[in-house]
Chains A and B, each alone.
Chain A
Amino acid sequence: MTSADITTAATVGSATAAPRRVVAKRKKQRNSITWGIVGWVVGIIFFFPVLWMVLTSFKTEAQAYTNTPHLFFTPTLSQYRTVFDSGLWPYVANSAFATIVSTLLVLLLAVPCAFALSLRPVRKTRDVLFFFISTKMLPVVAAIIPIYIAARDLHMLDNIFTLVILYTAMNLPIAVWMMRSFFLEVPHELLEAAEMDGAPLRRTMREVILPVVAPGIAATALICCIFSWNEFFFAVNLTATQAATVPVFLVGFISSEGLYFAQLAAAATVATLPVILAGWVAQRYLVRGLSFGAIK
């Protein structure tokens, strides 16, 4: 075999490789279009119930009750008017109060706690962490009876502060685990450098820890808000008229005489919207909150 043979063989090889690459690229493009179509179809299927709820909320009752569903129609705001006129506002106010106050309390308790379990770890850190997570496993139904009786005896039934306390306890374990995962991200070298400089703890906090942890606090708050706003079990068992929250308002639609689909869809849309928006904003941190900080 001469060297010329080898070079021709090499050029032949590269000549066939080039079109192959083009084919592969085109195949890849076609694949990406196929997957794009599949992705969009599946996405819309999963989103459809929400979309249908929103669409129905802009219909009249007559349009909502048809054998052949209308996809195109002249939208009306009358359902929303009815919902807000039927006294939704006090429920929204209660939900907002319970959500915001409990979230603030959670942060107040969880941030120092997570600090003590991460950057300056106490002994038995693991046990404390597992204690927190184990409280999430206790079925709430086993606690509701004593909570109900205690609230009754303390005249705290139908009191929004009862819900605030319970929502704080409900979200605290998630917040501790989540905040801890953020504290652990503070670079060690920075902490050591600050300590060597003899910087007081407060300054280290402000200048080294806070910048890293601040987004974590925001993400934790959003996750807590989502869970508190959506909570139903405590709300329906412990409140009546004064402290009832938005989910309890929705129950009223089921139990009242006759169902009004369009009106009900409007109420459900109002109830759902704040959390959907918050969740879209917090998307990046959703996994972290849901996995108790185990997955970044």
Chain B
Amino acid sequence: MTAIAPPVAARRTARARADRRKQGWVRRTPLLPALVFTIIVTQLPFLLTLYYSLQSWSLVRPGSEHFVGFANYVDVFQDSQFRTTALNTVIMTVGVVLIAMVLGVALALLLDRKFLGRGVVRTLLITPFLVMPVAGALVWKTVMLDPTFGIVNFILRPFGIGHFNWVGSLPLGSVMIEMIWQWTPFMMLLVLAGLQSQPTDILEAASTDGARPLQIFRELTLPHLRRYIELGIVLGAIYVVNEFDAIYMMTQGGPGISSANLPFYIYQRAFLGFQVGQAAAMGVVVVVATIIIATFALRLIFTSFSGTEQAA
């Protein structure tokens, strides 16, 4: 008896293991096409970028590529234009995301109240986000901000700023105005979703207990909104850091590089300067910086969201 049992059991566990492995593959198969596709299209180019960043290579001179080690990286960190555009990127991202968030919270609080035609106003408010970024930038550059014929200067004329050359004198600011206009609805939508998920009974209890509206907002609403605001800031920052369309359409990064951000500067280096190696090295630097900042932030936020989902 005891002599036979182990082999049978062993055979049984072996079969069970094989079964489980087969089951695993049955479960995994639907996932694989998407995973493989994504790895090939998004990760492979990045590996190539890493490789190119170690080469000296001009696109217009075929056969010019040769290995230069980390020389491109040394160039990148000595390049004052790289530093300027990096600073522009930070100013643009922080400015746009924060201002859009403040406006977004204000608009969301407004839309959280009942008034006539609220649905229509909501629709009007989300529209800027839907506008094709290239078209939005074009509209802002011309019919809105044109020094002579733009409507913004027409409205400001009574205040004595009738002929201000927005895009010319304030290139970075003009691009940021356009982007804030596009991103405020995004923030508003996320915050509004947060406001509407707020349990009303607690708010009512607080107001019958005699809490003032401002007090309720600071001590109940704002803590509840925190993770929605964080999510909006992180997601908004991911998109805004990579902004290209508005800069391309409104200023071409100019004058000089005064309104260029890193993506635009890298694009210029690669496609107008044809410096593949240097552009690739800059790309790698940007990617590493993004990964460091974003991984932590994203994990934090999505963990907080899935955590409460399970608790609910």
Contact = CB atoms under 8 A, between A and B. Distances in A.
A120 interface: yes
Contact of B138 (A40, A43, A264): A264
A2 B242 CA distance: 78
A109 B37 contact: yes
A121 B290 CA distance: 29
A115 B290 CA distance: 30
A116 interface: yes
A36 B115 contact: yes
Contacts of B148: 67
Interface centre among A50, A52, A130, A229 (most CB of B within 10 A): A50
Given A141-B244, A169-B37, A275 B143 contact: no
8 contacts: A43-B120, A49-B139, A117-B31, A144-B267, A250-B138, A286-B189, A290-B235, A291-B235
Contacts of A271: 132, 134-135
Contacts of A81: none
Contact of A146 (B49, B133, B245): B49
Interface string B256-294: 000000110011001100001001100110110011001
Given A38-B110, A280-B123, A268 B45 contact: no
B125 A135 contact: no
Interface string B116-157: 111011111111111111111011101110101101001000
Interface string A279-296: 110010011001110111
Q: Lowest 8 A-B CB distances belong to which pairs? A: A142-B283, A112-B30, A36-B115, A146-B48, A279-B130, A113-B34, A43-B121, A169-B41
Contacts of B301: 294
Contacts of A17: none
A147 B45 contact: yes
**A142, A247, A290 — most chain B CB neighbours (10 Å):** A142
A138 B124 contact: no
Interface string B30-48: 1101110110011111101
Interface in A172-210: 172-173, 176
A113 B235 CA distance: 23
B245 A172 contact: no
A176 B286 contact: no
A141 B118 contact: no
Contacts of B279: 145
A133 B133 CA distance: 22
Given A128-B35, A264-B138, A32 B115 contact: yes
B190 interface: yes
B27 A116 contact: yes
Contact of A39 (B43, B111, B271): B111
B218 interface: no
B171 interface: no
B204 to A, nearest CB: 14
Contacts of A246: 132
Q: Which of A42, A49, A120, A296 has the largest number of chain B CB atoms within 10 A? A: A49
B67 interface: no
A261 interface: yes
Interface residues of B, number: 98
B35 A141 contact: no
A150 B37 CA distance: 16
B138 A254 contact: yes
Interface stretch (A72-80, A84-92, A232-240): A232-240
A65 B34 contact: no
A66 B146 CA distance: 12
B72 interface: no
A109 B116 contact: no
Contact of A283 (B111, B126, B249): B126
Interface string B200-225: 00000000000000000000000000
A214 interface: no
State the majority secondary structure of interface residues on B. helix
Contacts of A279: 126-127, 129-130
Given A139-B263, A141-B267, 14 more contacts: A32-B115, A35-B113, A40-B117, A67-B154, A137-B295, A137-B298, A142-B287, A146-B48, A237-B271, A250-B135, A250-B138, A268-B132, A279-B127, A279-B129
Given A69-B151, A295-B190, A113 B31 contact: yes
A247 B128 contact: no
Given A35-B110, A66-B149, A272-B135, A138 B287 contact: yes
Interface stretch (B2-10, B76-84, B178-186): B178-186
Interface in A240-287: 246-247, 250-251, 253-254, 259, 261, 264-265, 268, 271-272, 275-276, 278-280, 283, 286-287
A116 to B, nearest CB: 4
A168 B34 CA distance: 10
Interface in A94-128: 109-110, 112-113, 115-117, 120-123, 128
A155 to B, nearest CB: 16
A232 to B, nearest CB: 5
A166 interface: yes
B166 interface: no
Given A132-B38, A140-B242, A272-B131, A46 B30 contact: no
A265 to B, nearest CB: 6
Interface string B17-29: 0000000100111
B73 interface: no
